[in-house]
Amino acid sequence: MTAQRPILIAGGGPVGVITALALARQGLPVHVFEADSRVNDMPRAATTHAATLEMLAGLGMVDEVIERGYVEPLFRIWDRQSMRIMAEFDFGMLKNETPYPFAVQCEQHKLAGMAIERLKKFPHAKVEFSARVTSLTQSADGVAIEVESSEGTRKIAGSYLIGSDGGRSTVRKALGIEFEGYTHPERFMILTITEDLGLIYPGCTRNYVSDPESWFSMFKVSGDERGPLWRVLSSTQPEQTDEELMNHKATERRLQRFLPKDGAYDVVHRNLYNVHQRVAASFRKGRVFLAGDAAHVNNPLGGLGLNFGIHDAVELSDLLGRVIRREAPEDILNEYDLHRRPLNIEFVQEQTIANKKRMEEKDPAARQRDFEQLRRTAAVPASHRAHVRKASLIESVKKRAAVPV
């Protein structure tokens, strides 16, 4: 099996290296090219949901994710004007459906690092840093890419190519595939702080605080040598510049407005992100596939983007393995685009768009209706369970499994 040409992977973010691990564990040769010199540790994804934890168990990663992350079965939705909890949801309702009835807050660079460590055990797997994929060609039986690195430009041949090179994907652009959807006019800011917000808001470490003027959310992550950290995510005005937003006084004012306290906050990271709702018009062209943010991007409310990207990784590596082992005809690769694209629209785009709308709703009557609906959903076990099945992506996995390949 390992004598064949490798499957090439452009982008060594969490989706690229987890795809590589899922392929390498099947004995398939893989070569990952990552443009950066190391794993990117900017604060992005942290929430790993039940459906994804089940997949990470299949890849031998889940115990370490749980050990290095922060387990949280609950999430709460607050009204900022009254600072009252409007609804509390409990993934524990899924205890008969999954061995992991909770979310784990484990930063995405840790996940990527864990996959890279495991890849080192496979002689047929290679992860190359400081290597940028710049172009690609394909024929009926293979692919070729150009890679720029300190050694100059090289041409590398492979059997298939997976573009997991993020939202600005070179692979997607080279294939001429539209990234359909829109970009929100405002940017989101993440402030990472050392203060333990759990002392002020005890009982739950995943909180969404709805407000027509300035919503925010606060999450605990397992952090680093400083100990656990909290992240405060909020929205900015489209016309605000980096300078206005990112200086020490502005971030302190922002935190005090949301979470007043004596003394200044200890802010360890300040980050601004553009926010999009986009899905590639196709996830496949011939022998080239898109996975993760290269295929779909969404706002982070709900913590779904990377989770779905890991589901792409697992489904794609399974399909490729079956075709390469000649257990199934090449046609089954069509299933990837056929199912994953509509699933992303139904479960990731729709939920994140609805979450954002609810957080920022300006019409007082609509806000009250939203809160009332959330309260009713949380109060009745059947609707509560249905809500958390969707939020944890268990529902999307069940829907996909109902159409076996």
Ligand X SMILES: Cc1cc2nc3c(=O)[nH]c(=O)nc-3n(C[C@H](O)[C@H](O)[C@H](O)COP(=O)(O)OP(=O)(O)OC[C@H]3O[C@@H](n4cnc5c(N)ncnc54)[C@H](O)[C@@H]3O)c2cc1C
Distance CA 283, CA 291 (A): 7
Work out how close the CB of 34 gets to ligand X at its nearest, in angstroms, rounded to a whole number: 5
Work out how close the CB of 347 gets to ligand X at its nearest, in angstroms, rounded to a whole number: 12
Q: Is 103 in the site for ligand X (CB under 6 A)?
A: no
Work out how close the CB of 263 gets to ligand X at its nearest, in angstroms, rounded to a whole number: 26
Q: Please pick, from the candidates 68, 80, 124, 132, the single residue that binds ligand X as defined by CB under 6 A.
A: 132
Single out the segment in contact with ligand X by CB under 6 A; choices: 161-169, 193-201, 247-255, 277-285.
161-169
Q: Is 208 in the site for ligand X (CB under 6 A)?
A: no
Contact string 327-366 vs ligand X (x = CB under 6 A) = ----------------------------------------
Distance CA 160, CA 288 (A): 6
Q: Is 303 in the site for ligand X (CB under 6 A)?
A: yes
Q: Is 133 in the site for ligand X (CB under 6 A)?
A: yes
Angle of helix 381-391 relative to helix 364-379, nearest 10 degrees, comes to 110
Q: Is 36 in the site for ligand X (CB under 6 A)?
A: yes
Single out the segment in contact with ligand X by CB under 6 A; choices: 67-75, 247-255, 298-306, 395-403.
298-306
CB 318: neighbour CB atoms within 10 A?
A: 17
DSSP state, residue 304: -
Comparing C-alpha atoms, which of 314, 404, 397, 405 is closest to residue 97?
A: 397
Site for ligand X in 162-181 (CB under 6 A): 164-166, 170
Q: Please pick, from the candidates 35, 61, 280, 391, the single residue that binds ligand X as defined by CB under 6 A.
A: 35
Distance CA 260, CA 188 (A): 20
Q: Which lies closer to ligand X via its Cβ, residue 309 or residue 321?
A: 309
Single out the segment in contact with ligand X by CB under 6 A; choices: 14-22, 55-63, 251-259, 329-337.
14-22
Work out how close the CB of 328 gets to ligand X at its nearest, in angstroms, rounded to a whole number: 26
Single out the segment in contact with ligand X by CB under 6 A; choices: 116-124, 152-160, 305-313, 394-402.
305-313
Distance CA 275, CA 293 (A): 12
Q: Please pick, from the candidates 7, 10, 114, 204, the single residue that binds ligand X as defined by CB under 6 A.
A: 10
Q: Is 217 in the site for ligand X (CB under 6 A)?
A: no
What is the b/e burial string over 258-282, where b = at least 16 CB atoms within 10 angstroms of the residue's CB?
bbeeeeebebeebbeeebbbbbbeb
Q: Which lies closer to ligand X via its Cβ, residue 219 or residue 371?
A: 219
Residue for token pair 């064949």: 4
Distance CA 207, CA 303 (A): 12
Q: Which lies closer to ligand X via its Cβ, residue 238 or residue 263?
A: 238
Single out the segment in contact with ligand X by CB under 6 A; choices: 74-82, 160-168, 323-331, 356-364.
160-168
Helix or strand run (H / E) with residue 230 = strand 227-235
End-to-end CA distance of the chain: 23
Single out the segment in contact with ligand X by CB under 6 A; choices: 29-37, 324-332, 333-341, 376-384.
29-37
Q: Please pick, from the candidates 46, 77, 93, 136, the single residue that binds ligand X as defined by CB under 6 A.
A: 46
Distance CA 341, CA 344 (A): 5
Work out how close the CB of 351 gets to ligand X at its nearest, in angstroms, rounded to a whole number: 12
CB 79: neighbour CB atoms within 10 A?
A: 17
Q: Is 40 in the site for ligand X (CB under 6 A)?
A: yes
Q: Please pick, from the candidates 86, 292, 370, 378, the single residue that binds ligand X as defined by CB under 6 A.
A: 292
The DSSP-derived string for 146-207 is EEEETTEEEEEEESEEEE---TT-HHHHHHT--EEEEEEEEEEEEEEE-S-GGGTSTT-SEE
CA pseudo-torsion sign 32, 37, 38, 43: negative
Comparing C-alpha atoms, which of 6, 113, 34, 75 is closest to residue 304?
A: 75
Residues that bind ligand X (CB under 6 A): 10-16, 33-36, 40, 44-47, 108, 132-133, 164-166, 170, 188, 190, 273, 292-293, 300, 303-307, 309
